[in-house]
Amino acid sequence: MRRTRIGRWWYKFSRNPLSVVGLIIVVGVVFCAVFAPWVAPYPEHAGPYVNYREANQPPSLAHPFGTDIFGRDVLSRVFFAFRSSLLMGIVVLSIVVPVGVTLGLLAGYFKESWIDILIMRITDIFLSVPPLILALAITSVLKPNLTNAMIAVSVMWWPWYTRLVYGMATSLRNEYFVQSAELIGASKFHILFREILPNCVSTILTKMTLDMGWVILIGAALSFVGLGEQPPKPALGTMVADGAKYLPEYWWISVFPGLAIMLIVLGFNLLGDGIGDLFSLEEA
Amino acid sequence: MRRLGYSVFVLLGLSVVVFIIARLVPGDPARAALGPRATQEAVEALRAKLHLDKPIYVQYFFWLRSVFRGDFGESLYTRRPVIEDIREFLPATLELALFAGLFMAVFGLLLGVLSARYANTWVDNVIRVLAYLGIATPAFVVAIILILLFGMYYEVFPTIGRLSPGISAPPRLTGLLTLDSLLSGNWVALVDALKHLFLPALSLSLGGLFQEARITRASMLENARRDFVAAARAYGIPERVVIAKYLFKPSIIPTVSILGLDFASLIGNAFLVELLFNWPGLSRYGINVMLRKDIEAIVAVVMVLGVVFTVVNILVDLVVAYLDPRIRLVERGE
**Which pLDDT band holds residue B309 (cuts at 50, 70, 90)?**
confident
- The answer to whether the Cα torsion of A190, A196, A199, A201 is positive or negative is negative
Closest residue by Cα to residue B92 from B184, B179, B158, B151: B179
Nearest to B144 by CA among A208, A74, A245, A214: A245
Instruction: Using CA coordinates, name the residue in chain A closest to B142.
Output: A258
pLDDT-wise least confident of A187-201, B43-57, B214-228: B43-57
Give the Cα separation of A94 and A83 in Å (integer).
16
B137 in A contact zone (CB under 8 Å):
yes
In a mutational test of the B interface, the residue from A136, A250, A251, A252 whose CB has the highest number of chain B CBs within 10 Å is A136
Do A132 and B140 lie within an 8 Å CB cutoff? no
Q: 10 Å Cβ neighbour count for B5?
A: 9
pLDDT for residue B19? 78
d(CA A63, CA A45): 12
Report the predicted TM-score, pTM, of the whole model to 2 decimal places: 0.85
Strand partners, B74: B81
pLDDT < 50 stretches in chain A: 1
Domain ranges of chain A: 2-40+65-283
Higher pLDDT, B162 or A260: A260
Minimum mean pLDDT range among A158-172, B74-88, B155-169, B226-240: B155-169
Interface ipTM above 0.85: no
- Confidence at residue B218, expressed as pLDDT on a 0 to 100 scale: 86
Question: Quick one: average pLDDT of B218-238?
Answer: 84
Assign B74 to helix, strand or coil: strand
Cis previous bond, B170, omega within 30: no
Render B233-262 in DSSP notation, one character per residue. Answer: HHTT--HHHIIIIIIHHHHHHHHHHHHHHH
DSSP letter for A195, please.
I
- Is there a contact between B298 and A137 (Cβ–Cβ < 8 Å)? yes
Q: Confidence band (pLDDT; 50, 70, 90) for B166?
A: low
Pick from B17, B141, B295: CB nearest A125: B17
Which of A97-111, B110-124, B149-163 ranks highest by mean pLDDT?
A97-111
- Option in B14, B276, B302 nearest A244 (CB): B276
CATH topology for A2-40+65-283? MetI-like fold (1.10.3720)
Percent of chain B at pLDDT > 70 equals: 83
Q: Are A180 and A141 in contact (CB under 8 A)?
A: no
* pLDDT computed for residue B40 by the predictor: 75
Q: What is the pLDDT of residue A91?
A: 94
The amino acid at B93 = T
Q: Is B324 exposed, middle or buried (0-12, 13-18, 19+ CB in 10 A)?
A: middle
Closest listed residue to residue B145, CA positions, set A262, A214, A81, A25: A262
Instruction: Give A147's Cβ-side CA count (13 Å radius).
Output: 2
Q: Mean pLDDT, to the nearest integer, of B291-300? A: 77
**Residue B67 resides in a domain:** no
Whether B12 is covered by a domain: the verdict is no
A227: phi then psi, degrees, rounded to nearest 5: -110, 25
- Give me chain B's average pLDDT, please: 79
Kindly tell me the number of DSSP H helices and DSSP E strands found in chain B.
Answer: 15, 0
Interatomic CA distance for residues A235 and A246, integer angstroms: 18
Cross-chain Cβ contact B141/A226 below 8 Å: no
On the question of pLDDT at B334 being above 50, the answer is no
CB contact under 8 A, A217 and B275: no
In sequence order, the 6+-apart residues with CB closer than 8 A to the CB of A97 are A161, A204, A208
List CB contacts of B33: < 8 A, sequence separation 6 or more. Answer: B46, B76, B77
The answer to whether B4 faces chain A, any CB pair under 8 Å, is no
pLDDT of residue B253: 84
Q: Report the residue of A124, A140, A212, A259 to disrupt the B interface, i.e. the one with the largest count of B CBs within 10 Å.
A: A140
What CATH number did the domain enclosing B166 receive? 1.10.3720.10
Whole-angstrom distance, CA of residue A142 vs CA of residue B57: 21
Q: How much is the average pLDDT of B1-11?
A: 77
Residue A144 phi/psi, 5° resolution? Answer: -70, 110
Q: Would you state the pLDDT for residue B328? A: 67
Q: Which residues of A touch B17 (CB under 8 A)?
A: 125-126
Under 8 Å between Cβ of B132 and B214:
no
Beta bridge partners, B81, equal B74
pLDDT at residue number A104: 93
Q: Does the CB of B267 have a partner CB in chain A at under 8 Å?
A: yes
**Rounded Cα gap, residues A38 and B166, in angstroms:** 55
Nearest to A203 by CA among A119, A275, A265, A135: A275
Q: Is the pLDDT of residue B160 over 80?
A: no
Could you give the CA distance from residue A61 to residue A68 in angstroms, rounded to a whole number? 15
| SS3 assignment, position A179 | helix
The yes-or-no verdict on residue B333 having pLDDT over 60 is: no
In a 13 Å sphere around the CA of A93, the CA atoms on its Cβ side amount to: 20
Alpha helix (H) residue ranges in chain A: 2-14, 17-34, 36-39, 74-109, 114-127, 131-141, 146-172, 176-183, 188-190, 201-224, 236-244, 252-283
pLDDT in tens, B257-275: 888 778 877 888 887 888 8
Chain B residues closer than 8 Å to A130 by CB: 264-265, 267-268, 305, 309
Contacts with B226 (C-beta within 8 Å, 6 or more apart), sequence order: none
Is the CB of B271 less than 8 angstroms away from the CB of A247? no
Question: Is A106:A119 a contact under the CB 8 Å cutoff?
Answer: yes
| Confidence at residue B297, expressed as pLDDT on a 0 to 100 scale | 81
Residue B34, pLDDT > 90, answer no
How far is residue A236's CA from residue A29's CA, in Å, rounded to a whole number? 13
* B28, B60, B296, B314 from B50: Cα distances, Å: 12, 11, 10, 35
Phi-psi region of A151 (alpha: psi -120 to 50; beta: other; left: phi over 0): alpha
Burial class (CB in 10 A: 0-12, 13-18, 19+), B27: exposed
- Of chain B, the percentage scoring pLDDT greater than 90 comes to 1
DSSP state of A230: P
- The whole-angstrom separation of Cα B230 and Cα A134 is 47
What is the extent of the structural domain holding B262? Answer: 82-332
The span from the CA of B321 to the CA of B188, in Å, is 40
Query: Is residue B330 very low, low, confident or very high in pLDDT (cuts 50, 70, 90)?
Result: low
B265 contacts on A by Cβ (under 8 Å): 130-132
Q: How many domains does chain B have?
A: 1
Question: Within the 19-48 window of chain B, which residues sit less than 8 Å (CB to CB) from chain A?
Answer: 21-22, 24-25
